[in-house]
């Protein structure tokens, strides 16, 4: 059809395990899933890798494809960049420092934390907000699932997105250059792996949006790393390697903290989490009803990154641990000026993000209108229960599928049943 490279999705469906239950169909925020012939089908152009379907699948037919620790063998020197939510996974008797030290025992040569640059990232974002006074509100781009949601469902808001690399990508850029210089290793011999809490973060590594060059070599699930770390925890007793931790920056793993940290006397912020709440807010922003805000944090997972499906710990417990770590930490920052100057030089700029619009019924306006007419007629025929048994998420979605020639009126069992009864009576 088109010769574009296939879009990478970490969310993967195994047809064999799917029993066609339609749970995933009903929770998908972009209506990307249909059940046809008793099997779910995910439409790649609509999927934003938010992971909602994974959590409701009763047969584990939907999983997250991610890289593995085995992939470290491909490189001479491996760096782990860890998401802040990693810190919340380990109980207090292990602690954050040990959890970091363990990474050196499972194949990594160096470790960097997202938390290192939390404060300078906030500084950069504040500057971005101030030098773009005409764009309001500016929307956070830190959650890859919500960025993709905007591309698919709210393309009119793409210009409102913060067009700066994410903290993990900023670190990847910084470290690759640093390792090349200090260790005299060729760039292609360095493996940079993100240790991530969610499906969308994996997708962001393999299908980055807006980035100018290749930044990461893989994304490994926090859960996989956790297992390996626990296997090796005894060996750590003798290790006295000094670990510099930036625990004060861990807060961004929690919903609301990004907005709180960026807020200033002249910057009014708002934080929203949970994909369906995010959709509501984006709809309001689209109708210019939230122009009074300067910056809005948008997170797919209910508690923020600690709520991602690649974590092991309960999100509330993880949140509690991170809160107490942040509280008892000393303020420690890496070279803030250095990063700020790089930002000012445009080193972290990204390309304008492109829409992935799937909303229109037809590319041709006249055809779209005639399909919309058909949709209205069909909706009137349907029971309006939104039960999903037909395999489409709502009656309206089924009507659209029929109008597009992708389903039939007979797919509605309720309607057929009622008609039969009527014929009898």
Q: Which is nearer to another protein, 188 or 291 (CB)?
A: 291
Shortest distance (Å) from residue 417 CB to another protein: 29
Number of residues that make up the chain: 425
Minimal distance, residue 154 CB to another protein, in Å: 9
Q: Does 418 bind another protein (CB under 8 A)?
A: no
- Would you count residue 289 as binding another protein (CB under 8 A)? yes
134 binds another protein (CB under 8 A): no
CB of 287 to another protein, least distance (A): 4
Judged by CB, which is closer to another protein: 98, or 396?
396
* 79 vs 158 by CB, closer to another protein: 158
Structure tokens, 175? 């470290």
In the list 6, 134, 181, 288, the residue contacting another protein (rule: CB under 8 A) is 288
Our CB check for another protein shows the closer of 344 and 367 to be 367
CB nearer another protein, residue 313 or residue 400: 400
Stretches 30-38, 108-116, 196-204, 282-290: which one binds another protein (CB under 8 A)? Answer: 282-290
Nearer to another protein, 55 or 291 (CB): 291
String marking each residue 372-391 x if it binds another protein according to CB under 8 A: xx--x---------------
Task: Candidates 156, 341, 416, 419: give the one binding another protein (CB under 8 A).
Answer: 156
Under the criterion CB under 8 A, does residue 286 sit at the interface with another protein?
yes
Using CB under 8 A, count the residues that bind another protein. 20
Site residues for another protein, 72-101, by CB under 8 A, read: none
Q: Could you say whether residue 155 binds another protein (CB under 8 A)?
A: yes
Give, in order, the Cα–Cα distances in Å from 391 to each of 17, 308, 323.
Answer: 17, 27, 43
Tell which positions 343-372 bind another protein, by CB under 8 A. 359-363, 365-366, 368-369, 372
Q: Contact positions toward another protein, by CB under 8 A?
A: 155-156, 283, 286-289, 359-363, 365-366, 368-369, 372-373, 376, 400
């Amino acid at each position: 059809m088109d010769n574009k490279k296939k879009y990478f999705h970490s969310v993967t469906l195994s047809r064999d395990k799917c029993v066609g239950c339609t749970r995933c169909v009903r929770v998908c925020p972009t209506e990307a899933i249909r059940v046809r012939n008793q099997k779910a089908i995910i439409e790649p152009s609509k999927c934003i890798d938010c992971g909602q379907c994974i959590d409701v699948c009763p047969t584990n037919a939907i999983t997250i494809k991610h890289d593995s620790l085995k992939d470290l063998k491909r490189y001479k020197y491996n760096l782990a960049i860890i998401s802040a939510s990693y810190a919340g996974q380990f109980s207090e008797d292990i602690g954050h420092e040990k959890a970091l030290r363990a990474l050196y025992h499972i194949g990594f040569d160096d470790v960097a934390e997202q938390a290192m640059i939390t404060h300078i990232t906030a500084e950069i974002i504040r500057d971005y907000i101030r030098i773009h006074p005409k764009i309001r509100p500016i929307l956070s781009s830190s959650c890859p699932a919500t960025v993709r949601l905007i591309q698919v469902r709210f393309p009119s808001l793409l210009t409102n997105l913060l067009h700066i690399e994410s903290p993990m990508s900023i670190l990847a850029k910084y470290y690759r250059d640093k390792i090349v210089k200090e260790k005299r290793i060729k760039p292609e011999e360095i493996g940079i792996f993100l240790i991530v809490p969610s499906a969308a973060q994996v997708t962001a590594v393999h299908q980055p949006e807006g980035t100018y060059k290749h930044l990461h070599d893989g994304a490994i699930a926090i859960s996989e790393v956790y297992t390996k770390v626990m296997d090796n925890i005894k060996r750590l007793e003798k290790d006295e390697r000094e670990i510099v931790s930036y625990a004060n920056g861990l807060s961004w793993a929690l919903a609301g903290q990004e907005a709180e940290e960026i807020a200033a006397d002249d910057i009014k912020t708002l934080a929203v989490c949970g994909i369906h709440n995010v959709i509501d807010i984006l709809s309001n922003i689209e109708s210019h009803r939230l122009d009074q805000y300067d910056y809005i944090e948008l997170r797919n997972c209910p508690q923020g990154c600690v709520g991602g499906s690649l974590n092991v710990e309960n999100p509330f417990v993880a949140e509690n641990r991170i809160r107490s770590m942040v509280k008892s930490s000393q303020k420690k920052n890496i070279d803030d000026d250095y990063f700020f100057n790089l930002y000012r030089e445009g080193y972290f700029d990204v390309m304008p993000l492109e829409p992935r619009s799937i909303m229109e019924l037809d590319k041709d306006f006249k055809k779209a209108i005639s399909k919309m007419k058909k949709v209205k007629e069909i909706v009137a025929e349907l029971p309006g229960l939104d039960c999903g048994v037909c395999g489409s998420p709502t009656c309206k979605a089924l009507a659209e599928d029929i109008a597009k020639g992708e389903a039939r009126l007979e797919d509605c069992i309720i309607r057929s049943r009622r008609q039969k009864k009527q014929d009898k009576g």
